[in-house]
Amino acid sequence: MPQDITNKDVQALSSPDQITSFFLNLGYDIDAHTLSSVGALGIRGDSSHAVKHVERIARLDDGYSIEVYLFQLNAIGDDDREERDFACLS
């Protein structure tokens, strides 16, 4: 069931629980929580070290299977900024 989403709706999300509830309100199944790993998702190299935690938080099956993963990243200091920017571009 389509719903109107505003920028404020997305900008207000500040915790994993709020993000999960957001997808629940969009009609996603949130009972499909599954812990995962960067390796299982095919993420390799420097990018994999930035991920602290990853889990599937929602799933939608409406003829297409859509899965939503929540990535929690390690904090990156200013000294790593150049390296981080490069990793995002590669």
Residues 6 or more apart whose CB falls under 8 angstroms from that of 50 comprise 73, 74, 76, 84, 87
Does residue 2 form part of some domain?
no
Does residue 1 form part of some domain?
no
Determine the structural domain holding residue 49 and report its residue range.
7-89
Q: For the whole prediction, is pTM greater than 0.85?
A: no
| Tally of structural domains, the chain | 1
pLDDT in tens, the chain (90 residues): 557 888 898 888 888 899 899 999 888 999 977 888 888 888 888 778 888 888 888 899 887 888 888 888 887 665 555 444 333 322
Does residue 65 form part of some domain?
yes
DSSP the chain: ------HHHHHT--SHHHHHHHHHHTT-B-TT-EE--TTTTT--THHHHTEEEEEEEEEEESSSEEEEEEEEEPP--GGGHHHHHHHHH-
